[in-house]
């Protein structure tokens, strides 16, 4: 049986400021609308790798929503879990880069169609096809969404499925109190935890920047696999017995939005498909590098063939233990 991964959360369109430091305070030029939303990018990347991919989300009855549905369907995502909510607007996000790594966002999310998703929109029949559930921290902006996540976790875990969690923290969202509470809840069910190095401090088991200590505490609280995304420094994998570090490929940065989602989807998909962690790490790095080289958050998702070709064409940094 083909492994099927489901995820729940925001399905957005994104508008990207053309210039660095353009900001949102005066008229400028933007590219868009691009299909976006971290869980949607994740789902798209999973589907492109040939696994089953189910996305639960909501869109408005508008052209933005239609575009997103058509795109996900084209790439092989099961869109039966996407509900069209009347009298709502498909969510949107505006992004302006300060430099290659820092960016500012304005989100129309919590009050958009996807922000109104409830547990009722998460169909049990569809859920029962899934062996793995992935959740992004950025999706946990409402009690409704947290309820929906709990429904999915309970369903998948009851069938001995697994759960992965990517905090995907946006500074623009940290004023949402419910989100930080939800983080504590989800960690108790997380099998594969995928933070970026800068996000570790929010999971404040250690009130320090002592990374080995933080990782040890995450593993000893029951998380089986910790994968740390380090951007241009690559990525690392830890479990109770072993650890690996895979340096990043050198890649031209065009638009890093979505790269972490592609990385995570590739790691989770290949790891669950039986790739050893050190190999999954390398494929995930290559997937992230492909993502940052293309403009548009979901434009950088890749097939396994594209990732393999990229790895064959680019200097291979190797894996360190």
Cβ nearer to a second copy, comparing 175 with 241: 175
Cβ nearer to a second copy, comparing 7 with 139: 139
Interface residues with a second copy (CB under 8 A) are 13, 15, 18, 23-34, 62-64, 66-67, 70, 86-90, 92, 94, 104, 106-112, 175-176, 296
Cβ nearer to a second copy, comparing 104 with 211: 104
Cβ nearer to a second copy, comparing 74 with 316: 74
The distance of closest approach from Cβ of residue 30 to a second copy in the complex, given in angstroms and rounded to an integer, is 5
The distance of closest approach from Cβ of residue 70 to a second copy in the complex, given in angstroms and rounded to an integer, is 8
Compute the distance between CA of residue 115 and CA of residue 108 in angstroms, rounded to an integer: 9
Compute the distance between CA of residue 270 and CA of residue 169 in angstroms, rounded to an integer: 24
The distance of closest approach from Cβ of residue 306 to a second copy in the complex, given in angstroms and rounded to an integer, is 20
Cβ nearer to a second copy, comparing 96 with 302: 96
The distance of closest approach from Cβ of residue 112 to a second copy in the complex, given in angstroms and rounded to an integer, is 7
How distant, in Å, are the alpha carbons of 203, 272, 283 from that of 241?
22, 18, 22
Cβ nearer to a second copy, comparing 172 with 306: 172
Q: In angstroms, how far is CA 286 from the centroid of its own chain? A: 16
Angle at 233 between CA 49 and CA 23, to 5 degrees: 85
Cβ nearer to a second copy, comparing 33 with 52: 33
Angle at 62 between CA 265 and CA 173, to 5 degrees: 50
The distance of closest approach from Cβ of residue 105 to a second copy in the complex, given in angstroms and rounded to an integer, is 10
Q: In angstroms, how far is CA 261 from the centroid of its own chain? A: 4
Cβ nearer to a second copy, comparing 23 with 247: 23
Do residues 57 and 72 touch, judged by C-beta distance below 8 A? no
Sign of torsion over alpha carbons 4, 67, 108, 93: positive
One-character DSSP codes across 111-134: TSTGGG--GGGS-HHHHTT-SEEE
The distance of closest approach from Cβ of residue 240 to a second copy in the complex, given in angstroms and rounded to an integer, is 41
One-character DSSP codes across 88-116: ---EEEEEEESSSS-EEEEEE-TTSTGGG
Do residues 89 and 11 touch, judged by C-beta distance below 8 A? no
The distance of closest approach from Cβ of residue 67 to a second copy in the complex, given in angstroms and rounded to an integer, is 5
The distance of closest approach from Cβ of residue 55 to a second copy in the complex, given in angstroms and rounded to an integer, is 19
- Cis link prior to 33 (omega < 30° from 0)? yes
User: Rounded to the nearest 5°, which phi and psi values hold at 99?
Assistant: -155, -165
């Amino acid at each position: 049986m083909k492994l099927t991964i489901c995820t729940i959360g925001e399905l957005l369109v994104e508008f990207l400021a053309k210039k660095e430091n353009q900001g949102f305070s005066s008229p400028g030029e933007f590219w868009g609308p691009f299909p976006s939303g971290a869980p949607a990018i994740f789902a798209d990347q999973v589907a492109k790798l040939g696994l089953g991919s189910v996305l639960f989300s909501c869109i408005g009855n508008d052209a933005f929503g239609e575009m997103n549905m058509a795109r996900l369907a084209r790439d092989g995502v099961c869109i039966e879990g996407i509900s069209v909510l009347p009298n709502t607007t498909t969510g949107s996000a505006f992004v302006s880069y300060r430099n290659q790594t820092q960016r500012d966002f304005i989100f129309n999310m919590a009050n958009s169609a996807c922000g109104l998703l409830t547990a009722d929109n998460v169909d049990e029949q569809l859920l029962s096809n899934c062996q793995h559930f992935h959740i992004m921290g950025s999706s946990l902006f409402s009690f409704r969404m947290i309820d929906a996540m709990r429904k999915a976790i309970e369903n998948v875990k009851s069938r001995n499925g697994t759960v992965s969690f990517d905090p995907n923290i946006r500074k623009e969202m940290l004023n949402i109190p419910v989100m930080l509470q939800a983080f504590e809840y989800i960690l108790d069910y997380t099998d594969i935890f995928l933070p970026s190095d800068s996000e570790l401090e929010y999971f404040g088991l250690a009130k320090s920047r002592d990374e080995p200590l933080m990782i040890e505490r995450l593993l000893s609280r029951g998380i089986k696999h910790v994968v740390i995304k380090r951007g241009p420094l690559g990525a690392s994998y830890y479990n109770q017995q072993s650890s690996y570090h895979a340096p990043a490929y050198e890649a031209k940065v065009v638009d890093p939005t979505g790269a972490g989602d592609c990385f995570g989807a590739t790691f989770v998909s290949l790891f669950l498909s039986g790739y050893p962690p050190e190999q999954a790490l390398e494929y995930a790095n290559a997937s992230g590098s492909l993502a940052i080289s293309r403009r548009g958050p979901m434009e950088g998702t890749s097939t396994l063939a594209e990732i393999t070709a990229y790895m064959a064409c680019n200097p291979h940094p190797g894996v360190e233990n």
